[in-house]
């Protein structure tokens, strides 16, 4: 019967079957699959449910190489309030998705305007600064000129939005 | 000429893009804002099958990269108009015009606003549409939450665990939200129910300092001093751009059944912006698949 059945199979179906069989038996795929299933770190991560910490760490690492000044209550006078010229302050949090969307934009601004100082505040770590500047959401961007807030933006923005904010300062 | 033009790069639009390119079609995704849609605001997703934990940002980024790696093209342009002429569709954006054989509308939804004076300028100055995002800034303070659905009740419960006092303002005396959460709220010492009432006025110049609330039955107005107002009165779609062509329901959602087909042949709809009962990540992804496969079938 099987011969008869296969006799009636059209060429494209045979091709597809062959491709499918090949795919299923591809040794590298099998190996990769086995490796994946047994990867200790994956098992461990799920077992310990530390994804949140992972996310936080990843987020902090995303920011590690940025040329921004990390603000604290100790350095805010020197870096922002007594600083002449334009300073951008980015208030963010590890758990804030829109903050991450904003990150590459901030990065490109710091490359484009190398002379402009960009500072950042992790709102969970710097609660005194959050109080001081009355921040009530993240992301919040504040633009300072000669130590005074001249523009504030709330939520995620496009690069052209931020460039617009920087105009005529 | 693209095979598919998808409007919106949220979970529904990007899922549609994945199914579209895998069906061998050329796919353009247009997005006015950033990719990801509303899920970007969710710190932790725990109900997407086979993913135990993931942040909304990581979910959106994975989906975005997956669609691009498979060959979808994404442009960040705002769609102003769509046209349908003799089986050909045109999409006009703020900077270009594109021709497509099919269109998939996946424009999502956004938080409904109260529509009060100065509401917009007070966003981020004490007015918020996301308690889980912004609640932390109101630790130990007095806040109000407006709404009567599950989201409002859940957010009220969350706020009651960190704030000194939570006023729950609702225009009816019964709730649509879960009874269990409601019970938990009733047991909280710091939650005060302000029922049959609606918010009439926002007080405060630079930041919110209080609200004027009116009892719908008696007409009596009271002022409640607060430092934060959370609004959880549901969501609205943004489909005004398409209503010349596409049938919308009373709420402004695009009318279509589970087959994701609109009243115009070759134009499909996916995700939260469609008339439907359940608006979840899973149903957005599901719509994306259904719409893209229907579009592929239409192209032939």
Q: What confidence tier does A156 reach under pLDDT thresholds 50, 70, 90?
A: confident
Range 2-41 of A in CB contact (< 8 A) with B: none
* Largest interatomic CA distance in chain B: 64
Rounded Cα–Cα distance for residues B198 and A39 (Å): 55
Rounded Cα–Cα distance for residues A79 and A147 (Å): 9
Rounded Cα–Cα distance for residues B209 and B224 (Å): 9
Q: What confidence tier does B42 reach under pLDDT thresholds 50, 70, 90?
A: confident
Q: What confidence tier does A169 reach under pLDDT thresholds 50, 70, 90?
A: confident
Question: Could you tell me if A30 and A63 lie in one domain?
Answer: no
Average pLDDT over residues B164-181: 94
User: B76 to chain A: nearest residue by CA?
Assistant: A158
Question: Could you tell me if A149 and A110 lie in one domain?
Answer: yes
Question: Could you tell me if A67 and A34 lie in one domain?
Answer: no
Question: Could you tell me if A109 and A75 lie in one domain?
Answer: yes
User: Are B55 and A55 within 8 A, CB to CB?
Assistant: yes
Q: Which domain holds residue A19?
A: 2-38
Residues of B in contact with A55 (CB under 8 A): 55, 58
User: Are B52 and A97 within 8 A, CB to CB?
Assistant: no
Residue B40 sits at the chain A interface (C-beta within 8 Å): yes
Average pLDDT over residues B264-286: 96
Question: Could you tell me if A125 and A92 lie in one domain?
Answer: yes
Q: What is the DSSP letter of B255?
A: P
- Select from B123, B110, B120 the least CA-distant residue to B41: B110
Which one of B137, B207, B281 would you mutate to disrupt binding with A, by most A Cβ within 10 Å of its Cβ? B137
Rounded Cα–Cα distance for residues A29 and A23 (Å): 8
Average pLDDT over residues B154-180: 95
Residues of A in contact with B125 (CB under 8 A): 136, 154
Question: Could you tell me if A143 and A69 lie in one domain?
Answer: yes
Does the structure show a pLDDT above 60 at A22? yes
pLDDT of A34 reads: 54
Q: What confidence tier does A43 reach under pLDDT thresholds 50, 70, 90?
A: very low
Q: What confidence tier does B23 reach under pLDDT thresholds 50, 70, 90?
A: very high
Q: Would A50 be classed as within a structural domain?
A: no
Q: What confidence tier does B43 reach under pLDDT thresholds 50, 70, 90?
A: confident
Q: What is the pLDDT of residues B59-73, one digit of tens each?
A: 999 999 999 999 999
Question: Could you tell me if A26 and A66 lie in one domain?
Answer: no
Are B21 and B295 spatial neighbours (Cβ–Cβ below 8 Å)?
A: no
Rounded Cα–Cα distance for residues B114 and B152 (Å): 14
Our CA-based measurement puts residue A104 at a distance from the nearest CA of chain B, in whole angstroms, of 12
pLDDT of A5 reads: 47
Q: Are strands B142-146 and B165-169 parallel, antiparallel or unpaired?
A: parallel
Does the structure show a pLDDT above 70 at B120? yes
- Active-site annotation holder among B69, B133, B173, B249: B133
Our CA-based measurement puts residue A99 at a distance from the nearest CA of chain B, in whole angstroms, of 9
User: Are A154 and B124 within 8 A, CB to CB?
Assistant: yes
Are B38 and B57 spatial neighbours (Cβ–Cβ below 8 Å)?
A: no
Which among B36, B40, B124 is the nearest to A136, CB-wise?
Answer: B124
Residue A61 sits at the chain B interface (C-beta within 8 Å): no
Q: Is the dihedral of CA A100, A105, A109, A111 positive or negative?
A: positive
pLDDT of A110 reads: 87
Residue B193 sits at the chain A interface (C-beta within 8 Å): no
Our CA-based measurement puts residue B126 at a distance from the nearest CA of chain A, in whole angstroms, of 6
Does the structure show a pLDDT above 90 at B31? yes
Which among A98, A123, A140 is the nearest to B40, CB-wise?
Answer: A98
Question: Could you tell me if A133 and A84 lie in one domain?
Answer: yes
Does the structure show a pLDDT above 70 at A52? no
Our CA-based measurement puts residue A95 at a distance from the nearest CA of chain B, in whole angstroms, of 5
Residue A122 sits at the chain B interface (C-beta within 8 Å): no
CB atoms within 10 A of CB B115: 7
User: A153 to chain B: nearest residue by CA?
Assistant: B124
- Spelled out in words, what is the top-level CATH class assigned to the domain B2-111+235-299? alpha beta
Q: What confidence tier does B271 reach under pLDDT thresholds 50, 70, 90?
A: very high
A91: CATH? 3.40.30.10
Q: Which token pair is B126?
A: 């004490």
ipTM of this complex: 0.81
Rounded Cα–Cα distance for residues B139 and B159 (Å): 8
The three state secondary structure string of B2-20 is EEEEEECCCHHHHHHHHHH
- Select from A152, A58, A135 the least CA-distant residue to A103: A58
Are B216 and B198 spatial neighbours (Cβ–Cβ below 8 Å)?
A: yes
Question: Could you tell me if A15 and A83 lie in one domain?
Answer: no
Residue A130 sits at the chain B interface (C-beta within 8 Å): yes
Average pLDDT over residues A104-124: 91
Rounded Cα–Cα distance for residues B247 and B85 (Å): 17
Question: Could you tell me if A77 and A8 lie in one domain?
Answer: no
For the domain spanning B127-231, the CATH number is 3.50.50.60
Q: Mean pLDDT over all residues of chain A?
A: 79
Rounded Cα–Cα distance for residues B187 and A53 (Å): 33
Residues of A in contact with B75 (CB under 8 A): none
Average pLDDT over residues A117-122: 95
Does the structure show a pLDDT above 70 at B268? yes
Does the structure show a pLDDT above 70 at A31? no
Are B221 and B236 spatial neighbours (Cβ–Cβ below 8 Å)?
A: no
Q: Would A145 be classed as within a structural domain?
A: yes
Residue A60 sits at the chain B interface (C-beta within 8 Å): no
The three state secondary structure string of chain A is CHHHHHHHCCHHHHHHHHHHHHHHHCHHHHHHHHHHHHCHHHHHHHHHCCHHHHHHHHHHHHHHCCCCEECCCCCHHHHHHCCCCEEEEEEECCCCHHHHHHHHHHHHHHHHCCCCEEEEEECCCCHHHHHHCCCCCCCEEEEEECCEEEEEEECCCCHHHHHHHHCCC
Are B229 and B142 spatial neighbours (Cβ–Cβ below 8 Å)?
A: no
Q: Which residue has the higher pLDDT, B276 or A27?
A: B276
Question: Could you tell me if A29 and A85 lie in one domain?
Answer: no
Q: What confidence tier does B29 reach under pLDDT thresholds 50, 70, 90?
A: very high
Q: What confidence tier does A28 reach under pLDDT thresholds 50, 70, 90?
A: low
Q: What is the pLDDT of residues A85-95, one digit of tens each?
A: 999 999 999 88
Domain count, chain A: 2
Q: Which active-site residues of A does the annotation give?
A: 96, 99
Q: Give the length of chain A.
A: 169
Average pLDDT over residues B64-89: 95
Residues 6+ apart with CB under 8 A from B264: B84, B245, B246
Are B143 and B165 spatial neighbours (Cβ–Cβ below 8 Å)?
A: yes
Start-end ranges of CATH 3.50.50.60 in chain B?
2-111+235-299, 127-231
- The dihedrals phi and psi of B201, each to the nearest 5 degrees, come to -150, 145
Are B99 and B15 spatial neighbours (Cβ–Cβ below 8 Å)?
A: no
pLDDT of A51 reads: 42
Question: Could you tell me if A66 and A128 lie in one domain?
Answer: yes
Q: Is B163 a catalytic residue?
A: no
């Amino acid at each position: 019967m099987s011969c008869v059945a296969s006799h009636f199979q059209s060429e494209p179906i045979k091709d597809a079957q062959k491709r499918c069989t090949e795919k299923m038996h591809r040794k590298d795929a099998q190996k990769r699959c086995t490796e994946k299933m047994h990867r200790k770190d994956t098992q461990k991560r799920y077992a310990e449910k530390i994804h949140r910490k992972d996310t936080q760490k990843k987020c902090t690492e995303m920011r590690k190489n940025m040329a921004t000044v990390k603000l604290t209550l100790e350095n805010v006078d020197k870096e922002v309030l007594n600083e002449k010229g334009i300073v951008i302050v980015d208030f963010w949090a590890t758990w804030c998705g829109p903050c991450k969307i904003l990150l590459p934009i901030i990065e490109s601004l710091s490359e484009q305007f190398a002379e402009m100082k960009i500072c950042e505040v992790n709102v969970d770590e710097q609660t005194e600064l959050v109080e001081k500047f009355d921040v009530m959401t993240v992301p919040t961007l504040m633009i300072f000129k000669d130590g005074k807030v001249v523009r504030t933006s709330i939520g995620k923005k496009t690069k052209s939005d931020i460039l617009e904010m920087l105009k005529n300062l | 000429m693209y095979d598919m033009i998808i409007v919106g790069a949220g979970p529904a639009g990007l899922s549609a893009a994945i199914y579209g390119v895998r069906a061998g079609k050329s796919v353009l995704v247009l997005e006015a804002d950033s990719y990801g849609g509303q899920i970007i605001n969710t710190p932790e997703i725990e109900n997407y099958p086979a993913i135990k934990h993931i942040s909304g940002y990581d979910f959106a980024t994975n989906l975005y990269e997956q669609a691009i790696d498979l060959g979808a093209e994404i442009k960040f342009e705002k769609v102003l108009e769509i046209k349908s002429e003799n089986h050909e569709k045109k999409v006009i954006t703020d900077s270009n015009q594109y021709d497509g054989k099919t269109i998939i509308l996946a424009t999502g939804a956004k938080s409904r606003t109260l529509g009060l004076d100065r509401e917009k300028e007070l966003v981020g100055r004490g007015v918020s549409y996301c308690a889980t995002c912004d609640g932390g800034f109101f630790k130990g303070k007095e806040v109000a939450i407006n709404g009567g659905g599950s989201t409002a009740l859940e957010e009220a419960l969350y706020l009651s665990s960190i704030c000194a006092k939570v006023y729950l303002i609702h225009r009816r005396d019964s709730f649509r939200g879960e009874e269990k959460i409601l019970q938990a709220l009733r047991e909280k010492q710091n939650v005060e129910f302000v029922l049959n009432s609606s918010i009439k006025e926002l007080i405060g110049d630079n930041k919110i300092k209080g609200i004027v609330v009116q009892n719908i039955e008696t007409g009596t107005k009271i002022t409640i001093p607060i430092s934060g107002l959370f609004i959880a009165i549901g969501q609205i779609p943004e489909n005004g751009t398409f209503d010349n062509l596409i049938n919308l329901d009373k709420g402004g959602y695009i009318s279509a059944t589970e087959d994701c087909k609109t009243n115009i042949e070759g134009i499909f709809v996916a995700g939260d912006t469609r008339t439907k009962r359940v608006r979840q990540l899973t149903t957005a992804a599901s719509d994306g698949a259904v719409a893209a496969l229907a579009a592929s079938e239409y192209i032939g």
